[in-house]
Amino acid sequence: MGVGFFKKGVNRTGLSFGESFLDVYLNFYIFFAMLFPNHPFQVSLKPFFLGVSVLFFFSFFSFGLPYDQIVLSVNEEAVTQQMFEKMKEDAKKEADFKREALPKKEILAVILARKLMENALLNSEARILNLNVTEQEVESEVERFKAINQFNSEDLENFFLTNQINLVLFKKDLSDQIRRKILVDRFVNSKIVSNDEFLKSFYEKNFSKNAIHVEGKNFMILLPPKPSKKEIQAAKKEMAGYVPYTKQGKAGERKLESIFNGKSGLEIQSFSLDQEEMIPEFKAATLKLNPGQFSNPIFSPFGVHLVQILKMEKVQGKSYDQVKDQVRDAYYRSEFNRIYFQYIEELEKKAQTQYFDPKFKELIFSYKNDPSPYQK
């Protein structure tokens, strides 16, 4: 991992420890030589200084000690470990602010790794197409950031200091965001066709006239993004051991809740949604159950589940005119995702991609092998 991060042409910011040390070292030598050109120490050690300088130059610039370890390069656009860690921090802060639960860390890691790769693909394409962003556009985004967070200029400065954010890099990130938005507008949003004919067709296919609303609990054994057969079998076997509690009434329910709340790798999720919104595995299981009943163990991309139905009722479906706004929003999301992922796939096919971290590569390929768990 420590070799070869100074790849030719890879865009990266910041100096490595080696580059910084070498810079200080050479400046010291030059400064000393200027002040004391004939000093015996300087004269006698000149060959040593020069020899070590050459050694430092080749060792640090050929091998380097990475300041910010590069995990992926897409068309010479670098993705670094620091970027990955920062995105995780930002996701946690946003979830805390919105009081929302984050996906489990295994799922979140794949989502964020994929997002970084998509950003690198878009940044690279923007560079290839020579998309320019003006200083005025960047400043407008800074002002928008201040308005969203209700910051004045002093607040913004304190925010940067508190969070150790570099203003230059912050503006560079904003420039990249603007370029990505330009690309998405040009190659994705512009291709979404929306009129009453399309919306009504979408409504007929996706909005049931009569819906079944379900409330319940999901008792879940979590699995990693790419579980081995051994891990799947072990989870199924463990879940089979909990099935007897589902037949013991309220006492069994309390025992299950105690187990799933107190053991690492287990989780209880409450849900309230229409059957049409469920993942296929849940939908098939709940159709056979009555309130109070548990399903048999269900295997899904997320893990192994026991689903308990608490309430189930038919709800009257609404007419197209009543839900037109929701239909339009759902149609836009569906079409955006379809066209966006097609566009990303096209960029990915023609991209020159290099992986420098096997773990990061595994995250990316977890998504490629089966993206469905990470697009929900």
pLDDT of 59 reads: 42
pLDDT for the residue 374: 57
Asked if domains 71-191+333-374 and 210-316 share a fold, the reply is no
Ranking 70-74, 158-162, 244-248, 298-302 by mean pLDDT, the lowest is 298-302
pLDDT at 209: 65
What confidence tier does 68 reach under pLDDT thresholds 50, 70, 90?
low
Domain limits, the chain: 17-65, 71-191+333-374, 210-316
pLDDT in tens, 106-130: 888 999 999 999 999 999 999 999 9
Q: Give the pLDDT confidence of 283-294 residue by residue, as tens digits.
A: 877 778 888 899
Amino acid at 171: K
Fold classified for 210-316: Chitinase A; domain 3 (3.10.50)
Average pLDDT score over the chain = 79
Average pLDDT over residues 316-323: 78
SS (H, E, C) the chain: CCCCCCCCCCECCCCCHHHHHHHHHHHHHHHHHHHCCCCHHHHHHHHHHHHHHHHHHHHHHHCCCCCCCEEEEECCEEEEHHHHHHHHHHHHHHHHHHCCCCCCHHHHHHHHHHHHHHHHHHHHHHHHCCCCCCHHHHHHHHHHHHHHCCCCHHHHHHHHHHCCCCHHHHHHHHHHHHHHHHHHHHHCHHHCCCCHHHHHHHHHHHCCCEEEEEEEEEEEEECCCCCCHHHHHHHHHHHHHHHHHHHCHHHHHHHHHHHHHHCCCEEEEEEEEEHHHCCHHHHHHHCCCCCCCECCCEEECCEEEEEEEEEEEEEECCCCCCCHHHHHHHHHHHHHHHHHHHHHHHHHHHCCEEECCHHHHHHHHHHHHCCHHHCC
Q: Which residue is listed with tokens 């079998």?
A: 233
Assigned fold of 71-191+333-374: Triger factor/SurA peptide-binding fold (1.10.4030)
The reported pLDDT for the residue numbered 336 is 93
Query: Which tokens hold the place of 369?
Result: 């092998």
What is the separation of C-alpha 31 from the centre of its chain, rounded to a whole number of angstroms?
47
Nearby residues of 373 by Cβ (< 8 Å), 6 or more positions away: 107, 225, 301, 302
- Higher-scoring residue by pLDDT: 84, 285: 84
Residue 100 vs residue 167, higher pLDDT: 167
Whether the model clears a pTM of 0.85, i.e. scores above it, the answer is: no
Give me the percent of the chain exceeding a pLDDT of 90: 36
